[in-house]
A and B are shown apart, each in its own frame.
Chain A
Amino acid sequence: MLGLAKFAATLRKMGVRLGTSEVLDAALALSAVNIEEEGQVKAALAATLAKSPEERALFYQAFKAFFVPPDKKKADIQFLMERLAEERENIALAEGELLFQGETLDLSSESKEIYSRLDREDKDRLLEFLERASAGKRVGPAFKPLIESIVEGHLERMRSRISDIQTHLPRSARTGDPEVDAALMQAVLSGPSDREKLLTEDIASVSEADLVKLETIAKDLSRRLATRFSRRCKRSARRSAIDMRKTIRANMRYGGVPFSLRYEAPRIEKPSIVVISDVSGSMIRYTGFLLQFLSGISSVVKNVEVFIFSEDLERVTDIFKEGETFSETVALLLSRTSQWGRGTDLGKALHTFRKTYGALCTRKTVLIVLSDGKTMARESARKHLEELHSNVRLILWLNPLKQEEWRKVPQLQDFRKYSKMFQSRSLSDLERIMRTEVLL
């Protein structure tokens, strides 16, 4: 039973949602099957502990890592211990190196770990900064907290550069129990599932071969989102007030005795969506996927209008309706944009949009801007955005840039005043934004 509790802890850390009642069920199930047959044990645990195909994949991974012969288990624990010892050494080393005026900086263990994993070059750069900071005139010990927060922030940004993060058991995933941690470590080593990886991968860096898979996932996600939303509309439509006029009319033939009741069906308000999308360079892929996603949920939105821009704006709603697959959509987009130069001018694009298609903006419109914000004519873009902001329900800005990099593009701060800006690099980003912002 202790083994079962530990296995449950492993599953929880891997992201399977488990309550006590499930673990109890698993215990009951185990007492009902033949413990000596691995197949039965596995099936019994799977039936009680993993309750979706995604969880099922995690379950099999955990099962493989956790239920191993004793020798292997010993070796796994040994491996974990070595890793932890190595990590402690690294942290001690980092403490020895990261000094401010001869004193060790008070940093989180995570940051120290990140530091120990950096390239020599990056380390040296950081050390050089510390040295210069320590030697500065009128710099006293009072500056230490400031320096600490700078270093901490810097290391946090460097996190993405660490290549071997896959072979490392994150601190938040540890339980302190060697058996559980060793199994988790093995599970981490075997890597995330394909689907999970694709969901969170930057759309622009997905390989051609994986694009089809990603497209299938996008379809699946958007379909589920659409069903969920339509259900919600239907639910509010039912069980509403009795429509007296219709009821009386329908029951005239029964001498006014209300035999059959008629209900009022409230009108369902669906949002209409206007997309203004940047298609310069690598942005075209993000646009392609956004359009694919929108076509998946088009049954639950009133109307979708699509515009693309780079130097100027063009209406491409027909592409949205015609392009059935991702590759078709991208090919059509490319054929439209080939005549353009390189410049990106959001200001001009918004100007054209307001002048020609201003009527599309109503209080029910969600305006989606997909762009990294690197544009000419910032001031005019800002002004148009401000005006549009008061005309539509919401301006959603999907930004393929990482959130950490936003501050390098100063105009984004201005644009954010008038729009809700989200990092939108991967499919899971896209799905979350659609779920929480568009289909309320």
Chain B
Amino acid sequence: MNVRPTGDVPHQEPIPVFEEATVDFLTEAFERDGYICDENIIVPVYLALRLQKPLLIEGMPGVGKTEIAKVISRVFKVDLIRLQCYEGLDENKALYEWNYQRQLLRIEMAKVKPEGDGPREYACERDLFSDLFSEEYLLERPLLRAIRSEERVVLLIDEIDRTDEEFEAFLFEVLSDFQVSIPELGTLKARFIPAVVLTSNRSRDLSDALKRRCLFLYIDYPTIEKEYRIIRAKVPYVSERLASQVATAVSRLRNDPEVRKKPSIAESIDWAKALVCLEADSLDPSVLKHTLNLVLKNREDFELYKKKEKVASLL
């Protein structure tokens, strides 16, 4: 989802630190940021910040899971560090890696004898070794960056369900103690506990151990009323009538068991934007026919809604 046009009234009150935010502050701040939600979402976010626990967010694609992390970072004006998960992601890509090539170069250079009778760069191999595993050769990846950060950050671990179970287990240390162990450097503890948000599309079940360490938030598709408010907040110049018609139509599409790919919130916003561009002030069969491909992105679904009675059911 996109950001509401900036330029709003600047926030005057001092921004609290994560653990001191209140439910009211969050509700207001989220609303101001254009993230429309109720206490079912605000309370878990509040608890995650207050109890300093990671927040695991599940839900269908496009309901605004990732957005929550972004909103938190904007509300508290802190950096967002994002770890995008994918199949085969391992700790080298997530935590840290030694710069192997650079280390090799160093070794090669150490072999070269300096010209003349000058002293060798390293008195013994041991010095070389301790130099090779110093921070100079350390490649920080998102998790380590979040842990070592000098100020508060939001750490977003996106689509955790795409990684394998092995990686999940590896995350435990980071998520429960906010520390990481690097054999050559020792254990590094976070100076500031980051706000951690994990998202999952439920393409597989996550392990109980991971869930135990997190607070859980399930985001469902919004109600018609809530979606109406979201569209009104996100799409400038949309008329009340159009917004409510779009919200209703999208909700009917989602409830139709024959529709295979349910439209997401992002798609309904795109749809409303497109309708505004086309200067449509309300939905009618011909407008629907030409714009329905913005929400139905599957051939079968699209064919299904070519039928007249199906189109009529959306109005």
How far, in angstroms, from A239 to B92 measured CA to CA in the complex?
11
Q: Are B51 and A28 in contact (CB under 8 A)?
A: yes
How far, in angstroms, from A12 to B164 measured CA to CA in the complex?
28
State the main secondary structure of chain A at its contact with B. helix
Interface range, B side: 35 or more
How far, in angstroms, from A56 to B258 measured CA to CA in the complex?
25
How far, in angstroms, from A194 to B78 measured CA to CA in the complex?
43
Q: Are B39 and A47 in contact (CB under 8 A)?
A: no
Name the one of B87, B101, B211, B216 contacting A234, with C-beta atoms under 8 angstroms: B87
Proximity bits, A33-69, B CB within 8 Å = 1, else 0: 1100101100110111011110010000000000000
Tell which of A32, A39, A257 has the most Cβ of chain B within 10 Å. Answer: A32
| Segment of B40-48, B125-133, B269-277 engaged in the interface with chain A | B40-48
Nearest chain A CB to B80 CB, angstrom units: 22
| Segment of B6-14, B178-186, B201-209 engaged in the interface with chain A | B201-209
How far, in angstroms, from A309 to B262 measured CA to CA in the complex?
38
Whose C-beta in chain A lies nearest to the C-beta of B176? A21
**Is B108 an interface residue when CB atoms closer than 8 A count as contact?**
yes
Task: Report A220-266 residues with CB < 8 Å from chain B CB.
Answer: 223-224, 227-228, 230-232, 234-235, 238-239, 257-261
Task: Report B198-254 residues with CB < 8 Å from chain A CB.
Answer: 202-205, 208, 211-212, 214-218
Whose C-beta in chain B lies nearest to the C-beta of A17? B208
How far, in angstroms, from A257 to B53 measured CA to CA in the complex?
46
Contacts of A257 in B (CB 8 A): 104, 108
Using a CB–CB distance below 8 Å, which chain A residues touch chain B? 17, 19, 21-22, 25, 28-29, 32-34, 37, 39-40, 43-44, 46-48, 50-53, 56, 212-213, 216, 223-224, 227-228, 230-232, 234-235, 238-239, 257-261, 324
A51-B216, A216-B257, A224-B203 given; A259·B88 CB < 8 A = no
**Is B158 an interface residue when CB atoms closer than 8 A count as contact?**
no
Beyond contacts A56-B218, A238-B90, A260-B101: 16 other A-B pairs, Cβ-Cβ < 8 A, are A17-B208, A29-B47, A33-B43, A43-B42, A43-B43, A43-B44, A44-B44, A51-B211, A51-B212, A53-B218, A213-B257, A216-B257, A223-B203, A228-B205, A230-B87, A231-B204
Name the one of B40, B44, B56, B104 contacting A259, with C-beta atoms under 8 angstroms: B104
Q: Are B212 and A19 in contact (CB under 8 A)?
A: yes
Contacts of B266 in A (CB 8 A): none
Contacts of A43 in B (CB 8 A): 39-40, 42-44
**Is B1 an interface residue when CB atoms closer than 8 A count as contact?**
no
How far, in angstroms, from A213 to B255 measured CA to CA in the complex?
11
Nearest chain B CB to A260 CB, angstrom units: 8
A43-B40, A52-B58, A213-B257 given; A25·B204 CB < 8 A = no
Whose C-beta in chain A lies nearest to the C-beta of B49? A32
Name the one of B48, B56, B166, B257 contacting A235, with C-beta atoms under 8 angstroms: B166
Nearest chain B CB to A221 CB, angstrom units: 11
Contacts of A32 in B (CB 8 A): 46-47, 50-51
Task: Report B256-291 residues with CB < 8 Å from chain A CB.
Answer: 257-258
Give me 14 A-to-B residue pairs in the complex whose CB atoms sit less than 8 angstroms apart, sorted by A's number.
A19-B212, A25-B53, A39-B40, A44-B44, A44-B47, A47-B215, A48-B47, A50-B216, A52-B58, A228-B205, A234-B88, A235-B166, A259-B101, A260-B101
Nearest chain A CB to B135 CB, angstrom units: 22
Q: Are A231 and B43 in contact (CB under 8 A)?
A: no
Whose C-beta in chain A lies nearest to the C-beta of B42? A43
**Is B165 an interface residue when CB atoms closer than 8 A count as contact?**
yes
Whose C-beta in chain B lies nearest to the C-beta of A239? B90
A43-B39, A227-B203 given; A33·B47 CB < 8 A = yes
Q: Are A25 and B215 in contact (CB under 8 A)?
A: yes
Q: Are B215 and A232 in contact (CB under 8 A)?
A: no
Contacts of A48 in B (CB 8 A): 47, 215-216
**Is B138 an interface residue when CB atoms closer than 8 A count as contact?**
no
**Is B63 an interface residue when CB atoms closer than 8 A count as contact?**
no
How far, in angstroms, from A32 to B50 measured CA to CA in the complex?
8
Whose C-beta in chain A lies nearest to the C-beta of B210? A51
Q: Are B215 and A33 in contact (CB under 8 A)?
A: no
**Is B23 an interface residue when CB atoms closer than 8 A count as contact?**
yes
Q: Are B258 and A40 in contact (CB under 8 A)?
A: no
Contacts of A216 in B (CB 8 A): 257
Whose C-beta in chain B lies nearest to the C-beta of A212? B257
How far, in angstroms, from A43 to B47 measured CA to CA in the complex?
10
Nearest chain B CB to A212 CB, angstrom units: 5
Contacts of B208 in A (CB 8 A): 17
Q: Are B43 and A47 in contact (CB under 8 A)?
A: yes
Nearest chain B CB to A44 CB, angstrom units: 6
Contacts of A238 in B (CB 8 A): 88, 90
